[in-house]
Structures are given as structure tokens and as C-alpha cells.
Amino acid sequence: MAPCQTLFQAQRRSLPGKLSHLKTKAKFGPSPSGRARPPVRPPQRRPPAGAAASRRAPEGRRWPTGPSCTSSQRDGSGGQLGQCAPGLSVNAPMEPGSSSTEKFYRIPKGKGPHSVGCTDLMTENAVEGSFLRLYYPSCSGTDNEEAPWIPDKEYYQGLSDFLNMYRVVGERLFQYYVGSVTCPAKSNAAFKLGEKYPLLIFSHGLGAFRTIYSAICIEMASQGFVVAAVEHRDESASATYYCKKKSISEPQEESTSGLEKEWIYYRKLKAGEEERCLRHKQVQQRAQECIKALNLILKINSGEEVTNVLNSNFDWNSVKDSIDTSRIAVMGHSFGGATVIESLSKEIRFRCGIALDAWMLPVGDDIYQNSVQQPLLFINSEKFQWADNILKMKKLSSNDTNKKMITIKGSVHQSFPDFTFVSGGLIGRFFKLKGEIDPNEAIDISNHASLAFLQKHLSLKKDFDQWDSLVDGIGPNVIPGTNIDLPPAEPE
């Protein structure tokens, strides 16, 4: 999953002079059948005077560097970029044809009965530890601020690397267009006690990271799930990090913790390297990271003490005895969809799985030999899938009524991550961040079908069965199976 590649190809036009000629790959997620995509060359426009320079950090605010460890990579600017006030999602520049000088776009709030909080958890001062963002039902009425959507500038640098852009250019673009985005979950809000919540482990796509599926994770949490969104360290994320001890020779002014962030960036394919081999190795690590996250949350639930090296002020003791350990599922998008399948094959405690627009290339051949016994729901977009990928899904789910496939009409691969909500209509549709369907309707269909599926296979006592028809592909803008023309089945 390349979360915003074409968005910034379009918005690169806001850069003056020769920088506007900078090219990035026109690849948007895994390319169907390996087909090359034509390069996108948007029309060049000169920005409004001082547009990029007008975004300054509000007085007294600094770019968040993390609560406990400093970064071992500096931006070289001598300063820190700003973060706008909570609740202001993104102040987007005018789109062509707009009658307004500003538009505001926002990641949708959860529609369930619970308020939602989120917090980050990292264990161990090593790459082998776990790193995740936890979304959870929270106490209402809290005055905690909304969490930053992209919490460190190094993620902008990683996205720039992933998109083949100069870092200085990419960081400027990301900061200008999405630098003020917050997700509608309260940072470190108090955990809501009194219930046992089912647990959902979420796996991000290629080039993504733990924070950019917040619309899905927040909706699940608002409906009564605890969601652990894993940040994978297999070099498939645009960027991630772990905290390590500072060497004695390094200055200690910025932090008293004695820790610093060691960044890991996306690894590109080497010349002549077979992609399937690399992705299969990565998906195996990803599955182990999902299982490790599961074990970590269950350890906290049992009352064992866990050290969070990020040292947030969230009370982890409040999670004790709040997880329903008999109701656990796994969910993911694109490469994360393949991770769902791999995780189900390795861990029987995952009672079911949901694969959003899954990319099947990384899945090993052994998985198709009855390795996945649990129920599995494929939710596909209309525009991304191709015959070979669909045939692999069908091979996995043949003759099993608990394995379902639906397709959301008018949707695209980017209808699942948050970038579809923070891009304007014209740019979003032209560069396939948005489909023909309204992004809010598309994510509602996906979330409602997921909730109905989870209710059935986790034996939940909720009202999610009102959306049972969606799981069968019945309803507005959804079809059963696939829209892709498949070759006739060969006789056995």
C-alpha cells in the first residue's frame, strides 16, 4: 500500500521553479500483475505568494519528538516544525475550480456509543520489541487533546523515500498539506472500565505505518473493541523506529531519559531481486509481530507489569481484566491483508480475520493447503484487484461457507486508509485517492460489514447483525464476490 503517492505527485506543482519538475514513481500500491503504470505529470501551477512559507508553528507549540526519547536523525533546519491546535484536521489549499480559498478535511469520528482514546506502546530498547498504537473505549468528557495523525517529521522523510522524492521537498509538501491533521481520538485518555472488550490486531499496508488507518481503528473502538495497530519493523513501513540507549559521548540536553530514536526506513527492492521472495519473508515477520502484539496485550490484561519505553502518562494498569480473551480477531489492508492470512495460519487464538483489498503475492504456497481454518472476510475495492490476485483468494476460500468475499462498488485501493479523507475531491478522484463513491460511504460499508462478520464469528451480543446482508454482498454499492472477469474454472 503506497498511502499517498499520487496525491503528492499532484501537489508537487505547488513548489516553485525547478523543484516542480521532480519526478516520482507512478506506482500506487502493489501494481496489478506487475504492469507498469504510466507516469503522472500534472500541470504546473505557481503557488500563491508565500503559501508554503505561511505555515508556522503556533506560538508555544513545537513539533512532537516523542515523550521519552529524542531522534538520532536531525532535520538540519535548526528548528522544529509546528503542530496546529487540536481539532483542526487539515487546512488545505484551494483546489482548481474551488470558489473558496480554504477547505477543511477531517478524518471521521467513530459512530459507536463509546468515546475513543489512543496511546502508543513500545517495549524493549531493541528492534525486536513491539510497537503499536492502541485505540480503546475511553471515558467521556476528557479534556485530553486529539492525537497527532503523523507524529514525527521522520515519517514524512520515510514517505518521501518511498515515493522517490527528495526529503527536503517531500517533508515540505507533507507538512504543508497534512501537517495539522489530528485523528479524532483523545491522546492518553482514561480507559473506560466496567466491560470486557474483544481485541482486534490491525496490520498496515506497504509504505504505511501504525497511525494512518485511524478511521477504521477509531470506528472499531467506538463500537466496543480494543484495537492494537501494529507498526511493522520488517522494512515495509515508510518509516518506524525503536528507542536505544544513547552513547556516553552524545549530548543529553534534549532528553533526560538517556534514549534516542533509531529510525528504520522502507527497503526498496535491489536490482535483480525477486519481489515475491522478499515479501514472503516480510509477511512472516509481520505475522510474528501481530502475534507478539497479541501476547503483549494479554500480558497487560493479566496484570503483569510492562515497561513502556515511551513513558506516556497512560495508566496501563487500567487495562487489567478488560480484554475478552476468548474474542480476538486480526484485520489488515493490502500487505496487511496478506499478514492477516499468515497470522491466521500461525495463531489459532485469532478466531477470525478480515482482509481489506488484500495483496496476495506475499502469501506462501503452503498456506493454501488448508492452513487457514478460521472464518475470513475479503473486502475488496472495485478498482484495485486483478484476476490472478482474486483467484488466489478463491483458492484459499473454496468450499468454505465461513470465508466470504465482497466488493465495494466505486471504491479504490486508497478508500481504506485515511488519506482518502484529507485530500480534496478533485485531486482525490483524479489521483485515485478517492473513488466514484463518497469516501465516508465506502468506509461505512467496510466497517459495517466487518462488524457484522465479527459479531457472528466472535459470538458478540451486539446489534451489528443489522448489517449481515453486507457480508453477503447485498445492499447499496456492494456486490458479492468480485467484479473481475475470471477465466473459467478448469475441470478437476
Active site positions, annotated: 334, 357, 413
Buried b (16+ CB within 10 A) or exposed e, 331-366: bbbbbbbbbbbbbbbbbebbbbbbbbbbbbbbbbee
Phi and psi (nearest 5°) for 388? -60, -40
Q: CA triplet 69, 70, 76: central angle to 5 degrees?
A: 165
Q: Which strands form 376-381's sheet, in the order they lie side by side?
A: 146-148, 182-187, 115-122, 131-138, 226-230, 197-203, 323-333, 352-356, 376-381, 403-408, 478-480
**Residue position matching grid coordinates 515495509:** 236
C-alpha cell at 257: 531519559
Pairing of strands 352-356, 376-381: parallel
Residue 418 buriedness (CB in 10 A; 0-12 / 13-18 / 19+): buried
Question: Residues 367, 36: contact at Cβ < 8 Å?
Answer: no
**Cβ atoms < 10 Å from Cβ of 255:** 17
**Residue position matching grid coordinates 501537489:** 11
> Per DSSP, which regions of 82-158 are E strands?
91-93, 102-104, 115-122, 131-138, 146-148
Helix (H, G, I), strand (E, B) or coil at 316: helix
Q: Which of 38, 35, 36 is nearest to 9 (CA)?
A: 38
The rounded distance, in Å, linking the Cα atoms of 107 and 419 is: 9
Sign of the dihedral defined by the CA atoms of residues 31, 32, 36, 40, in that order: negative
Q: CA triplet 268, 274, 276: central angle to 5 degrees?
A: 90
Q: In sequence order, what are the residues at sequence separation of 6 or more whose Cβ sits closer than 8 angstroms to the Cβ of residue 232?
A: 203, 204, 240, 282, 285, 286, 289, 339
Q: Which of 306, 261, 305 is nearest to 125 (CA)?
A: 261
**Residue position matching grid coordinates 531481486:** 273
Residue 490 buriedness (CB in 10 A; 0-12 / 13-18 / 19+): exposed
Report DSSP letters for 163-216, one per residue.
TT--HHHHHHHHHHHHTT-EEEEEETPPBPPSS-EEEEEEE--TT--TTTTHHH
The rounded distance, in Å, linking the Cα atoms of 7 and 28 is: 10
C-alpha cell at 153: 517529521
